[in-house]
Amino acid sequence: MTASARTPARPATAASAAVLNDGLAVSIRDLKKAYVLAGGTVHALRGVSFDVPTGDFVSIMGPSGSGKSTLLNLLGCLDRPTGGEFYLGPDNVAQMSDDELADVRASRLGFVFQSFNLLPALTVLENIELPLHYSGRLGRDSRQRCEELADKVGLGDRLDHRPMQLSGGQQQRVAIARSLVNDPWFLLADEPTGNLDTATTREILDLLTGLNEEGRTIILVTHEPEVADLTKRTVVLRDGLVVYDGHPDGSRAALDASRRKDGPNGAR
């Protein structure tokens, strides 16, 4: 694999997913992101490197301003790095055109947000179906696939409900079903339980854990150690650099050290 061989975005089929970059869903090397502002340049990511093997379950942690959202935006192909390499499967995302990035986003990635981001005018079934419109994959068997996904997240009897008629936990279940509809290469979740109470958080985490046990690769941002503890691996960022990458158990010390360095008020 060479960095110069730009491969056009291809549909994510089970076969193509199986031959991802030697079993890596994501590979980033010395990834940098600088925002140029009138008052100066903000170096949000200053050289981040890690691999995410297919089937991994990674939590990204770090104090406010450490670069978590910036990293998630890059991994989600919502933005382009200003330096370094980012391989998504076999493709170097840093070299893709805007059209290719949009195609990757629509067809290969699944997104779950803190605020669910469902369309209020659409039913559960239509919300789940939505990514198929964007990726141009709406077909004869779409309805059945969406019903199966609704079943999978425990909402098989709520297909015609609108988001307003559902609890927060149920809305997040719809969002998770929606994120799976294109059979993505991995799921990206930004504080997926941030708006949920403790019991509902547990249910959503059980759902995500179950998906991971089925082989789904998941990368999530969280500031809750209890959430990170349920993942297989934690990456801690500080000031745009990785300061810890390993078992969630060991991340506390790195996070505490970050807070101490930030002074008596903790995270900035």
Ligand X SMILES: Nc1ncnc2c1ncn2[C@@H]1O[C@H](COP(=O)(O)OP(=O)(O)O)[C@@H](O)[C@H]1O
216 binds, among Mg ion, ligand X, none (CB under 5 to 8 A by kind): none
CA distances (Å), origin 157, targets 101, 205, 207: 36, 21, 18
- Give residues with Cβ within 8 angstroms of 96, minimum separation 6: 6, 9, 77, 104
Shortest Å distance, C-beta 185 to ligand X: 23
Pick the binder of Mg ion from 16, 49, 69, 123 (CB under 5 A). Answer: 69
Q: Give whichever of 65 and 83 is closer to ligand X, judged by the CB atom.
A: 65
Residue closest to 158 by CA, chosen among 169, 137, 202? 169
70 binds, among Mg ion, ligand X, none (CB under 5 to 8 A by kind): ligand X
Bridge partner list, 45: 33
Per CB under 6 A, 76 contacts ligand X = no
Q: Fill in the per-residue mask, 46 to 75: x = in contact with ligand X (CB under 6 A), - = not in contact.
A: ----------------x-xxxxxxx-----
Shortest Å distance, C-beta 68 to Mg ion: 5
Q: Report the distance separating Cα 20 and Cα 37, nearest Å.
A: 37
65 binds, among ligand X, Mg ion, none (CB under 5 to 8 A by kind): ligand X
Per CB under 6 A, 42 contacts ligand X = yes
Q: Which positions touch ligand X (CB under 6 A)?
A: 35, 37, 42, 44, 62, 64-70
